[in-house]
Chain A
């Protein structure tokens, strides 16, 4: 199964490498947000983020933008699955003895790795415009691990929805409908004390919150590994549950 996953992963990676522009396009939006929001809110949000040990809004906001990149980058994984189903590529895999789990897993892994690369680019830009982040190898790795797991979870959800809905239009609609509220109903943009009570409650059950918090815990100020560990645990559960749902949906594809 792992070998199957690896070869399919290679295939998807090759395809992505053939159209690097597309990967760059998904970066435009988070980049714009990074540049515009940090400028826009610079004077508006004076208070330093709680628990971040001081620092400017940009420091607080960068992890949010990283998560946003993950959100935008991995939520469309399902669309390409539908295309592959229509094009007969999936049938071509299904008719071979390849592990069915590997088909989903390779797609999700590919998407998550792509997201990690994208967030690294964003990180580079953030560093260039003066964000003050912990970019040591350990903290960077931990942050990326968290983002990778978020990417796995989101891509798996997207694939699962794709199989359940079977159509591109509602899938795109759900993608659009989900991403923005997920962003704003989490602590990606504003720290908890700024939130109205009900949003704070929602943010508690929003996996995005934990992804952001775990990244913040290691990348801003003094690393808080306890908070990170909790966030990572939530991310692992999220990724695991989404993935098993996607796999079971895919197994049910056989009509």
Chain B
């Protein structure tokens, strides 16, 4: 009888301990990801401690700066929350309001043609218009689709942007414009802000739009560091921090994994490449894709200090030995489903038929409709299939779709669609 009691107690203890353990593990699993980055990726003034979050730690940091008279301009560049040129008690009060997520004016770092400038924004952004495909992709990935009430009128990929097909168009067909009268219409519907790219080619009428009381936010969304920074900042502006945090973790993890694997490539195994955007623009040192190709472990041979340089049919300069690369990686938008392979291959490849990489079957067109992190995964797969795996791009792409591309989740399999077109596909 006693044995039975002891056994029952032991069983009960085991169950309780196991239950606590499971509960602990479960809670650990659900514990929100917290980035350890301290490079100021959340580009909002008030993010005093330079992390990815606006919280009580920023208030503490400000108090420390004031109490110890720290050099905030170099160590804590985002500390001056109210942008009055000093860090004092007013900033502490300002940041406390920001931490409480009050409706207020905030200051942030805006990108304008790769230059940074300080701009203000009426927080939070409840309804926005978007100009620029990369910006649209970033906002989709952080779950902001329901807040997008306007976008440009060009023909968009019906698979990728199926959730935006009925959204109001702010331009007839231009990918870079937001027409004044259309923004004015949206303003009456509660439009707070226009999100666009850092290039001056986008939203040239920025001053007019701001004159209507609509903020224009420019972010660099197409290079490694800035694309993650943009996502974190956008997440804050749109009150989507949790999702933006998860997405930034995904990006950080992929970039880190690629960086680690690229670090194992022996010098004699490093492949060479050039990258192409648009139809025939070769990416130089200032091109975002130059960084992408080198991040995966390749040596990009086109080292001119330009963003891109055109290579027209009949031009000779790219045929020189200096640019005789192992791979030509061409980033180009094409339909996510059922692309016209011959048309895409011929119209883009025609510029490079004389190059050895093309002749050797090392010319690949990667669909640039996908976010930078996915494009990078495919780039890695194309140039180092043994190192990253022959379906590495598809794996990363599928993870992104299943977790961050709500309108394609469950209905799109990366492995069943051609997102990279190369000579093996065209054979």
User: Are A and B subunits of one complex?
Assistant: no
Chain A interfacial positions (CB closer than 8 Å to B): none
